[in-house]
């Protein structure tokens, strides 16, 4: 029973959350509609509630995964300050990741960076305020395999990954190559922060 719950129980770690529930973004009042339209298109979502300054956007079973608030006095985003780096959204397969890429492109949303990190193959975008978004697909069948790769010498030498062209990936799939083969990260040797594209470094 709830009344018998031990709120003083000792532990070496804090009780972990069961999931990441949602993300809230702040925008300027003049960009509110631009931002809400962008995210509804980008996520294939809809507003579960929306007024002239708040939008709660859902695309799955949760009542909202993303909210956008137009806060008076908010200034433009500075790409080079500390803060949230990006938000990541997972797709269930490489085919769906690439289909979503094509659909977003048809809607006028182009990628900023396409990279095979190793544990994931990822396509990054920027929203109208300059916030970075990652869309990804897992390369390994289990979290343990992904963790093993992240502990490998190859990942230590290059924690960023190898760039790729989504259109080239689509062509390889159409020729019959397996997703497993395409998801395997090419060895491009050492790669440091200096190699990252300007869009990732805050050069939008």
Q: Could you tell me if residue 8 is inside a domain?
A: no
Distance set, CA 107 to CA 61, 104, 169 (Å):
24, 5, 20
Residue 137, Cβ density class (10 Å: 0-12 exposed, 13-18 middle, ≥19 buried): buried
CATH number at residue 49: 3.10.180.10
Q: Could you tell me if residue 4 is inside a domain?
A: no
Q: Could you tell me if residue 152 is inside a domain?
A: yes
pTM above 0.75, yes or no: yes
Q: What is the pLDDT of residues 136-148, one digit of tens each?
A: 999 999 999 999 9
- Number of domains, the chain: 2
Q: Could you tell me if residue 187 is inside a domain?
A: yes
Looking at the structure, do residues 46 and 107 belong to the same domain, yes or no?
no
Q: Could you tell me if residue 14 is inside a domain?
A: no
Residue 169, Cβ density class (10 Å: 0-12 exposed, 13-18 middle, ≥19 buried): buried
What's the pLDDT band for 203 if we cut at 50, 70, 90? low
Looking at the structure, do residues 197 and 133 belong to the same domain, yes or no?
yes
Looking at the structure, do residues 29 and 130 belong to the same domain, yes or no?
no
Residue 186, Cβ density class (10 Å: 0-12 exposed, 13-18 middle, ≥19 buried): exposed
> How far apart (Å, rounded) are the C-alpha atoms in residues 110 and 108?
6
Percent of the chain with pLDDT over 90: 81
Q: Is 27 helix (H, G, I), strand (E, B) or coil?
A: strand
Give the chain's end-to-end CA distance (angstroms, integer). 54
CATH number at residue 187: 3.30.720.110
Parent domain of 39: 21-74
């Amino acid at each position: 029973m709830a009344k018998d719950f031990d709120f003083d129980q000792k532990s070496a770690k804090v009780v972990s959350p069961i999931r990441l529930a949602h993300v809230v973004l702040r925008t300027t009042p003049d960009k509110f509609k631009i931002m809400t339209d962008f995210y509804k298109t980008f996520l294939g979502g809809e507003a579960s509630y929306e007024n002239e300054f708040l939008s709660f956007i859902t695309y799955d079973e949760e009542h909202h995964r993303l909210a956008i608030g137009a806060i008076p006095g908010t200034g433009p985003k500075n790409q080079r300050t500390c803060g949230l780096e990006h938000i990541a959204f997972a797709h269930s397969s490489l085919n769906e990741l690439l289909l979503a890429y094509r659909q977003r492109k048809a809607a006028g949303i182009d990628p900023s960076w396409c990279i095979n990190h190793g544990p994931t193959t990822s396509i990054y975008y920027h929203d109208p305020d300059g916030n970075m978004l990652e869309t990804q697909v897992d390369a390994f069948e289990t979290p343990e395999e992904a963790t093993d790769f992240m502990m490998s010498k190859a990942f230590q030498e290059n924690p960023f990954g190898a760039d790729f062209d989504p259109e080239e990936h689509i062509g390889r799939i159409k020729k019959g190559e397996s997703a497993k083969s395409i998801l395997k990260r090419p060895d491009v040797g050492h790669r440091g922060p200096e190699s990252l594209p300007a869009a990732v470094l805050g050069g939008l």
